[in-house]
Each structure stands twice: as structure tokens, then as C-alpha cells.
Structure 1
Amino acid sequence: MRLPESQLAVLEAASATESISVDRLADNTGLKPETVTRAAFDLRDDGLVSIDETVQTSAEITAEATEYLEDGLPEVRLYRAAIDAGADTEPVQMGQLIGASGLAGPQVNIALSNFARKGYGSIDSGAVSADPDADPDTDPEHNALAGLADGETVADEDILAQLERRDLIVRSEQTVRSVTLTDDAVTALMEGIEVAETVDRLTPEMLTSGEWDDVEFTEYNVAADAPSIEGGRKHILRQTADRVKDVLVGMGFKEMEGPHADADFWINDCLFMPQDHPARTHWDRFALDVPPIQSVPEDLVERVEDAHRNGVGEDGDGYHSPWSRGFAEAIALRGHTTSLSMRYLSGYAGADIEPPKRYFSVEKVYRNDTLDPTHLLEFFQIEGWVMAEDLSVRDLMGTFEEFYAQFGITDIQFKPHYNPYTEPSFELFGTHPTTGELVEIGNSGMFRAEVLEPLGIECDVMAWGLALERLLMLMYGFEDIRDVHGTLCDLELLRETEVLY
């Protein structure tokens, strides 16, 4: 019998009386585990070995668990503080114990939710009573974490499941394969096996020399396991952004571009946003400590300031609020990409603005928002505007219906809204495919005269800012945008999510 060298090495290292794992065979033969696995499957197909497969589950503690091993589980710290405060004889107010235990933030809720569950005591009307017979030194969850940290195995499935629910461990499964020689293999080894020269590809040199007739070609087992290789791919959010661009270009729009950090003049003043508006304070705005922009067009600054102070037209009325040239020139990260619209509509970006015109951008914006499932500190906005004669809200609503229909979204709802820069204005809502809840997906309206007249625009302009991430949620059913990007991003989810067109 003739066998490839790797198969013969596996046969000689395996045993007929003992099942030997692939990793041990790899160590004994000096071959890679994947080479041993491939050889073992080929030998099994020839009836020379049998392969047993078992699934082993392993658990690793998380960073949070490591912290608890050093400082103690939150419920244990609460119990010890309760004992020290005499809560084993008379209830003690929870606030006093929280401070004494040093718990803060999410750890407080974690301690409260696990305190009674573990029998450390009870909580009634904000007062804590501790069980004097409880023994935190034998806390099974703490001991299990300590054992896992030392490389030990924890057999109690209930404890492991509880630790996993608390995000204190991460469990993974691994298939372990073991090889045993068959009687045919023992017979073949006793009779002697020769090493066959094998090659895994046919080369031009083999054909011209005739060597191909003297070698044995390796058989390929397409059913054998192979190492998983995750190549790079375009992020699903970027794929959706590209799709949005294709749709808008197909609808006759041209793309805008411009700076992420810009003068407040372009970001807000041109939009008839008063300088004392709450959205222009540090609560919503990322100001940059850099020199102000000096290149804003002087004549446009004067017209915008006049609109703020006095309004436009015979019946116009301004804000009668402070207006500072220095504030207008100060640099901030743009809170919306409407700053690009202002640059283009003013002609300052060099664009041809003779009507009719359609422009869009899909760019990142920055806001000092509170993080939650639908809000991030930075996100992508789908900016767009159409300039033409005799536009109406009906044209704007029809544009949205046509745009969202390209993504399979046909249930758009509109709600009247107030914006300082558009009138009339309305918000857009779509139905989340999983929760059934209405999700705000954008804001829009017709630019006011106070915006258009200083820019020199004499026709109608309808405009909007739509959230790319919210569109993604409606397309794919994501309930938390942090699952898609950021520190909580689920890479497996991104790898497995099918691209929608």
C-alpha cells in the first residue's frame, strides 16, 4: 500500500486501543492540526481510521468579572456594608448602604437585583434587611468565576447560565476530533506501507517533462473542515450609503461635499437659527478651540445679520436677540450637513445655481446627544434640496415616497413640525419591521424667505435631512444602532447580514 507522507505519519502516530485527539497527533507528528484533520478524513474514507467527534464548551470571564474578582460582586459588597451598618438586626436605609459599599452607576442596580435572589436579605420601601446567616465567602457565582480565572472547569450548568446572563462569562463551543486505528490499518502497518510522492497541482513543467505520469495527485476532500478566513468587506452602513447615492443620482441629483469643521455662520446663521438658540450651546454643539474662519463673504454676512436683526420683506421681523460676528466665524463640528446646502445655494461652493437644480450629500454630522438605541454622537445624514419655480409640500412628499420606495419602504407618515429655517415643515416616520413602532427618520420643509433672500435665491427650495442609520434600521430590522457600529458592534451580525437592494 502506498500513502501520502502526512497520512502515513498520522497512521503511525495513532493507536488501535486509544482514541487520540487531532491536537495530540499534530504534536506527535509535527504536522499542522489542519493537515492532520485532512489526512484523518482521507484515511477514514479508506477505512483505515475512525473519527469520534465531541463538542466541548469552554467559558472565559469578561473584564467586568475580573473587576468583581478584585472588588467583590456588587451584591456581596452591599451585604457586607449592610452587616457593618447593623442591618442584620434592624433595617437600614438603602442610600446609606449604597454610599458605604462604594457602589456607583450600573453596579447599584446589579446589587439590588441580586441581593434578595441570593438570600442575602430583603429590601422593603427603601430599607435593607440583611440575613445574619448568609455566607458571602461561599458565594457560588464568585467561586465559579475564581475557578474559571484559574483555568478550572465549572460543571454546574445553572451557575454558568446565570453568569452568562449577567455577561460575566463568554461561552464558546469547539468540536474535538479523536482518531482510532481500524483493524485494516493495523494489518496494513504490519505488512508495510510505502510513502507515495504526491503533488497537489499540475504544472506546465510536469506536462512538458512527462513527470505527470509518474506522480500521484492528491485527492481533494471537499467535505473536510477548513480554517475559517474572514476577509475584509464593506460595512453594511457604507453599502447602504452607496445605495442611497445611486438612488439619488438616478433621481437626477448631484452630490455636494464640504468641510466637517466649519464656521457657525454656514452651519447655523445662514439657516436663520438665532445665536441664542439652545441647539447652538455647548449642550448640543462641539466647538473647536481653533482660530475663526476669516474667509466668509462679507456681503453675505451683512445680509444674514440683517435678516436676523430685522427679518426680510416689508412685514418681516427679526429675532431682536444678540448677534455676534465673532460667534458666526467660530469653528465647530457641523451638527447637520445643511451647512453644505448653504455653501452651494449661496454660490460660494462654485456650483451653478440657476434653477432648476437638485443636490444631495450623504455625510457624517456630530451632535452632543445622549447615547441610546437611536442616537449617537456622530451619524450620517442624507441631505438634499431641490430648487425650482412653484414647488409645494406635495412635491416634497412625493420625492420622499419615491426615494423610500427604492428601499422597500412604502408606509411613510408625515407630521407637522416647527423649524427656524423652513415653513411649512414636517417630520417623517417609518414603521419598524420588528417592533412595529414608529421611528422618526427625518426632518424637512420649504426654506423660509429669511434663509433664501440673503442667499440671493428668488425661487422655491424644498430641503430635508434624513438619518441614514434610521433607514438602515427600517431596512434590516435593527433595534439598536449600536449593534451596527461602535464598541458594541456585533461583527458576526455584520458578516452574516444579507445585503438588500
Structure 2
Amino acid sequence: MRLPRNQLAVLEELSADEPTTIEELAAETGEKPETVTGAAFELEEQGLVDVSEETSVEVELTDEGAEYAEEGLPEVRLYETALDQGADEEPAQMGQVVGASGLEGPEVDIALSNYARKGYGDIGGGEITADPDADPGEDEEAVALASLAAGEAVADEDVLDQLERRDLVERHERTVRSVTLTDEGVTALMSGIEAAGETGQLTPEMLATGEWRDAEFAEYNVEADAEEISGGKTHILRQTAERVKDVLVGMGFSEMEGPHADAEFWINDALFMPQDHPARTHWDQFALEKPEEIRDLPDDLVDRVRDAHKHGVGPDGDGYHSPWEEDVARAIDLRGHTTSLSMRYLSGHEVGDLEPPERYFSVEKVYRNDTIDATHLLEFFQIEGWVMAEDLSVRDLMGTFTEFYSQFGITDIQFKPHYNPYTEPSFELFGRHPETGELIEIGNSGIFRPEVLEPLGVECDVMAWGLALERLLMLMYGFEDIRDVHGTLCDLELLRETEVVR
């Protein structure tokens, strides 16, 4: 029997009893792993070897995870500081404990969000307590981080899941191929195998010297799988966003544009959101330190919005009777919704005064401090829209949604009454997931209140909505986790194969 040199080299390193990995064969033969893999599959076709595959999962610390493995988890450091401040005996001032802990920036929020969850104590009213019986040494997440930092395996999948959700570890799947001699392979080796002087590649040098005339070429396997090359393409979310834009333009809408980082005035105050509303805290929004405030706010509009907050509008108006500070309104945040664009346009600040009827939309990214799960991310795309016209009703709003979603083949839309500080009446939209049959929330809508419109100088009705682009995608294609199309856990095959029909 004659075999190409690389196949013979692989065969001679194998055992019939113990599998040998491709990496081990590459080291022993001095060949590249891909050359060894090809030779192994060719030998398998001849029945001389068996090739097996096994998928293993490797877990490694992220930079943040490595930092916490060395310095301690933020919640553990907060607990240890709280003990030093006597919080196990009586409540201590939160600011004092946080300051003494050395925690800074995002670490503070991380510590606070995990402190009570792990039973280290209670937080409330600006004070913190520490449970004297808590034992950081038994913190499963801290122990797992230390083990991974020391190169040891962690078997508890629930703990690894939690660390992965906190972006402290990353999991990587790795396919390990192993090769074993068959009985036929053993017999062939015992009978003796000669190395064939075959070449598998025609080179320019062989053509130039004429060496190719006397060369013995290896057979060309026309059934072998060709290398798969994945070229670039437009992301499925961007494809869907462009389709949404086409549909809305076809329905007579014009597109809005505006800043991602904007004044709280446009994001919340103009929407009649009280300045002490919980959604305006750092728990829900991302604030910017630099620049600290915006400069170009229209003074007359600021005065009218302030008056609406304090006293309401109209003869029966009644404001919030809560503090309203211009410094707060001028602070800059990442927008939590694109309704900030609607306020800029409706006020005339962006494109001048508008006369009804008018229709505008945007499909832009927004940012919220949410807990990441199957339907929530820290940033996502919102389909913003509004119609300015006389005598609008909820029926007009529902009809608009029915027409819009029908363009995507979605007809089972349901509505539920809802409360918003800035619309009345208001309702949420739900669509039925094609795979699970569950109703999932896909948007929020309503008709703007007079407290929103009158300060803007709008004298007719305005109906408005904010819809989730990613959840529209879930209804269209049936995937169940928003992370399938976003971030490091995305489904690459889904992104490569799915095309949005336009």
C-alpha cells in the first residue's frame, strides 16, 4: 500500500487504544493542524482511522472579572467597609460607607444592586446595615472568580451563568478532534506502507522548470467540502430599520434626526415628567459628566414648561407642586427614548413651526439602565412616531398600528390601557410570538396631554408612540432572545442567513 507522506506520518503516530488529538499529531509530525486534519479525514474515508469530535467549553475571566478576583467583588468590599463603620450594630450613612470603601463610578451601582441580593444587609433611606452573620468567604461568585484566576475549573453552572450575566466571565466553545487507528489501519501498518512521492499542489516553480511533467499528483477529491467564506452584509437590525423607514415614508411620514446625548429638558421636562420621578434617576438613565449641561435651550419655552410643572395648564390645571430646577433640566443624559426628538420638532426648535396635519418618525438607538435579559438590553432601537392633526382619537391611533404591523405580516395586535405622565389616554401594544404563543409587549402609545402640548405652542391633537424594533424582529422571525441579534452572544448563523424582504 502506498500513501501520501503526510497521511503516512499521521498513521504512524496513532494508537488503536488511545485517541490522539489533532494538536498532538501536529506537534509529533511537524505538520500544520489543518494539514493533519485533512490527512485524518482522508484516512477515515479509506477506513484506516476513526475521527471523533468532542465539544468543550472553556471559561475565562474578562478584564473586569480579573480585577474583581484580585481586589474583591464590589458588594464584598462594601460589606467589609460597612462592618468597619459599625453597620452591624446600627445603620450607617450610605455616603460615608461608600466613600470609605474606595468604590468609584459603576462599581457603586454594582455593589448596591448585589448587596441585598446576597444577604449582606439592607439599604434604604440613605442608610446601610450589615448582617453580622454574613460570610463573604462563602460568596459563591467570589470563590468561583478566585478559582478561575488560579486556573482551576468551576463546576457550578448556575454560578457561571450569574458571572456571565455580570460580564465577569466569557465562555468559548471549542471542538476537539481525536483520531484512533482502526483494525484495518493496524493491519495496513503491519503489512508495510510506502510513502508515495505525490504532490498535492501545482506550483509556479514546477511550471517554470518543467518538473510537473514527471510529478505524481495526488487525486483531487471533488466531494471534499470547500472552505466556507462568510462575507460582510448589512446587519438584520439595520435591514429591518430600513424596511420600517420605507413603510412609514409610504404612509406619509417624514424622518426626524437629533442628538443621542441631550438635555433632560428635552428628554423629560418637556414631556411633563416631574423632576423627582423615579425613572429620571441614575437607576434608569445614563448621565454625562462632560459636558455637564446644555446651553441652547429656548428661554421662553423653559419658562412655559416650568409653569406647567408647577401649576398645570388651563383653568382646571394642577401641576406637580414639586421642586423644579433649571439646572436639572439643563443636565445632559443619554436619551432613554426618542421622544426627545418629538419635543424638539413639535416645539418648532428643530425645523421651525409646524402646521397640521404633520407626520414624523425616527428609528434610532436609545439607552436605558435595564437589567439585561431575553427582552431587555442597555441600548436598543426605538421606532418613534407622531401625528399632528385636528380631532384625533384612540381609533386613529389603533388604525395606524394595524396598518403599520400588517406591512410585516403581523395581524394579531392587542391593546391594554396604561398610564404615562405625558399621554392620556395611553395604552401598551402586545403581539403574539409565532413560536411560543406568548403575548410580548412591543410598544407604548397615547395622545399627548395638554400639559405637554400647550407649552410647545401646539393647538391641536398629537398622537404618538414608541415601538421596539428588536421586538418587531422577534415577531417576524420567531427568535426568543434579543441577544440573538445583539452583542457577543448573537447567533451568527441567524445574522448570516436571514434576509429582510423589502
Q: CA deviation at 1:394?
A: 1.5
SS in 2 for 1:31: coil
Check conservation: 1:263, 1:328, Cα contact below 8 A. Answer: yes
Partner residue of 1:10 out of 7, 11, 24: 7
Are residues 1:382 and 2:383 paired?
yes
Partner of 2:442: 441
Structure 2 counterpart of 1:255, which letter?
Answer: E
Partner of 2:280: 280
Q: How many pairs are equivalent?
A: 421
Specify the alignment match of 1:130 in structure 2: none
Number of the residue aligned with 2:324: 323
Distance in 2 (CA, whole Å) between partners of 1:332 and 1:415 is: 30
1:348 aligned counterpart, secondary structure? coil
Distance (Å, rounded) in 2 between the aligned partners of 1:17 and 1:34: 17
Is the partner of 1:274 in helix, strand or coil?
Answer: coil
Could you say if the C-alpha distance between residues 102 and 477 of structure 1 is closer, same or farther in structure 2, counting changes exceeding 3 Å?
farther
Question: How big is the shift at 1:384?
Answer: 0.8
Equivalences for 1:254-265 in 2 at 5 Å? 254-265=254-265
Q: Are 2:134 and 1:99 aligned?
A: yes
Q: Report the CA distance between 1:268 and its aligned residue.
A: 1.7
1:237-386 → structure 2 map (5 Å cutoff): 237-289=237-289, 290-350=291-351, 353-386=354-387
- CA drift of 1:182 comes to 7.5
Residue identity in the other structure for 2:280: R
Question: In the TM superposition, what is the alpha-carbon distance from 1:277 to its structure 2 partner?
Answer: 3.1
Q: Is the 8 A contact 1:444 1:464 kept in 2?
A: yes
2:98 alignment partner in structure 1: none
- Secondary structure of the structure 2 residue equivalent to 1:99: coil
Residues 106, 395 of structure 1: alpha-carbon distance in 2 compared, 3 angstrom cutoff: farther
CA apart distance, 1:397? 0.7
Partner of 2:406: 405
Residue in 2 aligned with 1:53?
A: 51
Supply the distance in 2 between the matched residues of 1:187 and 1:355 (Cα, whole angstroms).
91
CA distance in 1, matches of 2:250, 2:157: 49
1:309 and 1:318 in contact (8 A); partners too: yes
Q: 1:171 to 1:280 in 2, by over 3 A?
A: closer
Name the aligned partner's letter for residue 138 of structure 2: L
Q: Residue 346 of structure 1: CA displacement?
A: 1.9
SS of the residue aligned with 1:199?
A: coil
Cα distance, 1:107 vs structure 2: 8.4
Could you tell me how far apart the structure 2 residues matched to 1:373 and 1:183 are? Answer: 55
CA distance in 1, matches of 2:188, 2:277: 86
Q: How does 1:119-138 map to 2 (within 5 A)?
A: none
Check whether the contact 2:140–2:159 (CA below 8 A) recurs between aligned residues.
no
- Structure 1 distance, partners of 2:454, 2:354, is 14
Shift of 1:327: 2.4
Map 1:150-165 onto structure 2 (within 5 A).
none
Paired residue for 1:393? Answer: 394
Shift of 1:383: 0.8
**Which whole-Å deviations, capped at 9, do the CAs of 1:169-210 have from their partners, x for residues lacking one?**
987553323574885997883xx8444584289xxx98x999
Following TM superposition, by how much is the alpha carbon of 1:223 offset from its aligned partner in structure 2, in angstroms? 3.8
Q: Give the conservation status (yes or no) of the 8 Å contact 1:2–1:194.
A: no
Tell me: CA distance 1:30–1:236, structure 2 relative to 1, closer, same or farther (3 Å). Answer: same
Contact 1:286 1:366 (C-alpha < 8 Å) held by counterparts = yes
Q: Secondary structure at the match of 2:402?
A: helix
Retained in 2: the 8 A contact 1:62–1:167? no
Residue identity opposite 1:52 in structure 2: D
Equivalent AA in structure 2 for residue 292 of structure 1:
E
Match of 1:85 in 2: none
Instruction: Point out the more displaced range, 245-254 or 25-34.
Output: 25-34
Q: Per-residue deviation at 1:58?
A: 4.8
Matching residue's letter, 1:248:
L
Q: Which residue identity is paired with 1:332?
A: D
How far did residue 356 of structure 1 move? 3.0
For the structure 1 residues 320 and 405, does the alpha-carbon distance in structure 2 shift closer, same or farther, using more than 3 Å as the test? same
Q: Identity rate of aligned residues, in percent?
A: 61
Report 1:455-494 matches (<5 A). 455-482=456-483, 484-486=485-487, 489-491=489-491
The question of whether the paired residues in 2 share the 8 Å contact of 1:2 and 1:195 is answered with no
Alpha-carbon deviation of 1:443? 1.1
- SS of residue paired to 2:249: helix
- Contiguous gaps of at least 5 residues in structure 2: 73-120, 122-130, 162-170
Once the two structures are TM-superposed, the CA of residue 444 in structure 1 deviates from its matched residue by 0.7
Tell me the equivalent position of 1:127.
none
Aligned residue number for residue 221 of structure 1? 221
CA deviation string 1:441-469 (max 9, x = no partner): 21111222332233233333211011223
> Structure 2: how far apart are the matches of 1:267 and 1:164?
41
Paired AA for residue 8 in structure 2 = L
For structure 1, the residue ranges without an aligned partner over 5 or more in a row are 72-94, 111-144, 152-159
Q: Deviations over 1:119-152 (max 9, x none)?
A: xxxxxxxxxxxxxxxxxxxxxxxxxx99x9689x
| Amino acid in the other structure paired with 2:339 | T
Structure 1 vs Structure 2 CA RMSD: 4.8
* Separation in structure 2 between the aligned mates of residue 491 and residue 319 of structure 1, nearest angstrom: 47
Q: Which of 170, 177, 180 pairs up with 2:179? A: 177
- In structure 2, give the amino acid aligned to 1:406: Q
Match of 1:156 in 2: none
- Aligned equivalent of 1:113: none
Cα pair 1:16 1:186 within 8 Å, conserved: no
The structure whose Rg is larger is: 1
CA distance 1:188–1:263, change in 2 (3 Å) = closer
Q: CA deviation at 1:320?
A: 4.0
Q: For 1:444 and 1:341, locate their aligned partners in 2 and report how far apart those are by CA, in whole Å.
A: 13
Q: Give the alignment's TM-score, normalised by structure 2.
A: 0.66
CA–CA separation in structure 2 for the residues paired with 1:59 and 1:454: 58
Q: Are the counterparts in 2 of residues 446 and 463 from structure 1 also a CA contact under 8 Å?
A: yes
Q: Distance in 1 between matches of 2:217 and 2:302?
A: 78
TM-score, normalised via structure 1 length:
0.66
The answer (yes or no) to whether the contact 1:445–1:462 under 8 Å persists in 2 is yes
Query: How far, CA to CA, are the matches of 2:52 and 2:159 in structure 1?
Result: 28
CA change 1:343–1:185 in 2 (3 A) is farther
* Compared CA separation, residues 35 and 270, structure 1 to 2 (3 A): same
How big is each residue's C-alpha offset from its partner over 1:267-289, in whole Å with a ceiling of 9 and x where there is no partner?
Answer: 12222223333333444333333
2:239–2:500 Cα contact (<8 Å) kept: no
Secondary structure class of the residue paired with 1:259: coil
Q: Can you list the C-alpha shifts for 1:192-233, whole angstroms capped at 9, x where unaligned?
A: 8444584289xxx98x99999888877543543566666655
Q: Distance in 1 between matches of 2:26 and 2:141?
A: 47
Task: State which drifts further: 25-34 or 208-217.
Answer: 208-217
Structure 1 residue 421: Cα displacement: 2.0
